Structures are given as structure tokens and as C-alpha cells.
Amino acid sequence: MDYRMLFEDITHAVQPALTDGRVAQYIPALASVDPSRFGLAIAEANPRLKTRGTGDWREPFSIQSLSKVFTLALVLAADGDALWTRVGKEPSGSPFNSLAQLEREQGIPRNPFVNAGALVVTDRLLTLTGDARGALRDFLRTESGNPRIDFDAEVAFSESRHGHRNAALAHLLADHGRLDNPVPDILDHYFWQCSLAMNCRDLARAAGFLARHGLRADATRLLTRSEAKRINAVMLIGGTYDAAGEFAHRVGLPAKSGVGGGIIAVIPGRCTVCTWGPALDRHGNSTAGITALDTLTTLTGWSIF
Ligand code: DON
């Protein structure tokens, strides 16, 4: 594979998409990010091989909902299939922060990637570890090999000040008897998890266990092969929210997006890819990231289909 040519073609293709969208506006720390930034990293499934990247691939950004993939993996590793009684595995077809859907469905979130589902997962991780946000940060440091990964306090405090809808979701979950820990504690851990600042390189490497069918970077097992398959499957049907169908149609890979502009995509057995482009479409997915991954799968033929 000629990565230099591939990166050039992708960088060219994303240019119109960089301005075809809007940077997340709900907190000042995200609203002030320059929309023209773009980065992409490819981490081989074999962690001894070199991670390649282009553009702003070493520039940290707010991981936001990308955290949901990793908290899900940590809880699934401990709870196994029992987790799926607390949270569903179906596409949402609704915005990621929908209260109406959660109420209609008696407090069982559609999947772990809508906010309500992630709150249930964080609640479980808090019970299992006593420190959900610390467990997540430590896992990301170890898997990426970067001990400097840390939270962004400004983002975390800002999330918390503007977190009325997440608070409403958490209280609705609690009212349905779906949470084990106090709502303020769960919200606090959730906001700090979302605030982690990471770059494309470290995110692609940290997600490597999904390309290795559940094996961590040191070759110990985090998830069974089926559990890794299940996370990839849920990413495919819900990782890009109510645009998951469109994303599968264009890209054909399991992927997870965040409103910081990041997308992680998995090519099982081969590699993980992380893109960053801060401008978002109306579903909350990075316009440059989708275009980059669309171009990548078209040029390489690396799709799961
Ligand atoms: O819960 C929130 O609203 C944000 N902290 C994270 C949302 C997010 O990234 C959803 N993604 N597309």
C-alpha cells in the first residue's frame, strides 16, 4: 500500500467537506475550534508495526462520544452478555440525546452509544471500578502507549454546566430503576470521560483491540472474539447515531463518532483508523471524517462488505 499517495488523495477529497458543516456549539471550548483542521491515522492490527498518519494527526482534540466505545469494552469485559439486559443493541433512529425514546421504552436505552446507553455503561463501570473516569484514562494510556493522555478540565466543567439534557436522561433512567449509583456521580464521571483530549494516533492505537478480535496491545485478552464482534456490530448499527445507515452505505465499516469531530473506524483483522475534522453535519458526525473514510474504503477496497 502506498500510504503517501493514499493520504494525498484523501486530503484532497476532504477539502470541500471541511467547511460543509458546523463545529459543535453547545460549549465554548468546542465552538472555538478551527474547522479547517484535519487529521487521519492508521494503526495496524499488529501493534509492533508503525502507525501512519497525515495532517493534524498528532494534535489532541476532545474525544467526546468516542469514549463510549472504550467504556463499553471495559464493562463488557467484566459483565459479558449480562450487560445486554441493561442496554439494547438496536439502531436508535433518533437523535443521540433523545428523551422521548427513553421514556417510551421504559428506560432501556436503544444501544450503548446513545447518551442514555452510555450513562448506563458508565454507571456499571463506576460500580465495577469505583473510578470510571480513571479506569478509562488508564486503559487509553496503556493501549495507546501514551502516558500523557489526560482530561481537559475546561471541557469537563463546561459540559457539566450545559449538561441539562444528560441530567434529564440520567434522572429518567434512575426513575425507571435502571441505575445503581447516584445520578450526580454518574454524570460527573461521564462528563470527565467525554473531556479526555487525545490525538488521531493515540485513538487509532487504543482501539486496536477491536481489529485484533479482542486482544489488547500486549496480546492479553480483553474481550472474547464474540464480544469484540458485538462491539463492532453495535458500532455499525449505532456508532454514527441516526445516520448509521447512510454511513454504512458510504463507508461500509464499523465506526464511532464524537462531537469533538473524531471518528474511529475498524477494519477487523487489518487496522483501525481515526479521523479528526471539527465541522459536523446535522447528526453530529464529522463531515471531513465521513468523506475521508468514504474515500479510504473506495480507494483501498477495505470494507467489511
Ligand atoms: O453528552 C454529550 O452531549 C457530549 N458530551 C458527547 C456527545 C457526543 O459526542 C455525541 N456525538 N456525536
For 39, the 3-state DSSP assignment is strand
CB atoms within 10 A of CB 281: 18
Residue range 169-184: mean pLDDT, rounded: 98
Sorted by sequence, the CB contacts under 8 Å of residue 251 that are 6+ apart come out as 265, 290, 293, 294, 297, 303
Kindly state if the Cβ of 166 falls inside 6 Å of ligand 1: yes
Query: Is it the case that residue 182 has pLDDT exceeding 90?
Result: yes
Q: Which of 33, 40, 34 is nearest to 14 (CA)?
A: 40
The backbone torsions φ and ψ at residue 164, rounded to the nearest 5 degrees and listed phi first, read -60, -40
Tell me which residue has its CA closest to atom 7 in ligand 1.
65
The 10s digit of each residue's pLDDT in 48-94 is 999 999 999 999 999 999 999 999 999 999 999 999 999 999 999 88
User: Distance of CA 192 to CAs 53, 168, 195, 197, 206, Å?
Assistant: 27, 18, 5, 10, 18
Residues noted as catalytic: 65, 68, 190, 241, 259
Which pLDDT score is estimated for 95? 87
192 C-alpha to ligand 1 centroid (Å): 12
Enter the DSSP assignment of 214.
Answer: T
Average pLDDT of the chain, as a whole number: 97
* pLDDT classification of 274: cutoffs 50, 70, 90: very high
| Long-range Cβ contacts of 283-286 (<8 Å, 24+ apart) | 283/95, 283/240, 283/241, 283/242, 283/243, 284/24, 284/96, 284/241, 284/257, 284/259, 285/240, 285/241, 285/243, 285/247, 285/257, 286/21, 286/257, 286/261, 286/262
Kindly state if the Cβ of 240 falls inside 6 Å of ligand 1: no
250 C-alpha to ligand 1 centroid (Å): 23
Q: Which amino acid, residue 203?
A: L
Query: Is it the case that residue 120 has pLDDT exceeding 90?
Result: yes
Kindly state if the Cβ of 257 falls inside 6 Å of ligand 1: yes
Which atom from ligand 1 is nearest to the alpha carbon of 159? 5
Q: Which of 185, 67, 65 is nearest to 126 (CA)?
A: 185
Query: Is it the case that residue 241 has pLDDT exceeding 90?
Result: no
130 C-alpha to ligand 1 centroid (Å): 23
Kindly state if the Cβ of 259 falls inside 6 Å of ligand 1: yes
pTM: 0.97
Kindly state if the Cβ of 158 falls inside 6 Å of ligand 1: no
Residue range 237-244: mean pLDDT, rounded: 93
Which pLDDT score is estimated for 229? 98
